[in-house]
Amino acid sequence: MRVEIKLRSLSTTKGFMRNGDIVDLPDEEVSRIIKVRPQALVILPELPLEEPKKVQKVVQNPVQKKAPVKRKRARKADGTLKADDPSTPDVNEAWEDGKHIK
Tens digit of each residue's pLDDT (9 = 90 or more) over 3-50: 999 999 999 998 999 999 999 999 999 999 999 998 999 999 887 767
Mean pLDDT of 55-63: 75
pLDDT of the residue at 54:
79
pLDDT of the residue at 100:
60
Element (H, E) at 18: strand 15-18
Rg, C-alpha atoms of the chain: 38
Query: Counting beta carbons within 10 angstroms of the beta carbon of residue 3, is it exposed (0 to 12), middle (13 to 18) or buried (19 or more)?
Result: buried
Classify residue 53 by its DSSP letter: P
pTM for the complete prediction?
0.46
Nearest 5 degrees, angle CA 94-CA 71-CA 89?
A: 35
Q: Give the Å distances, CA to CA, from 37 to 5, 7, 23, 24.
A: 11, 9, 17, 18
Give residue limits of the domains in the chain.
Answer: 2-43, 73-102
pLDDT of the residue at 41:
92
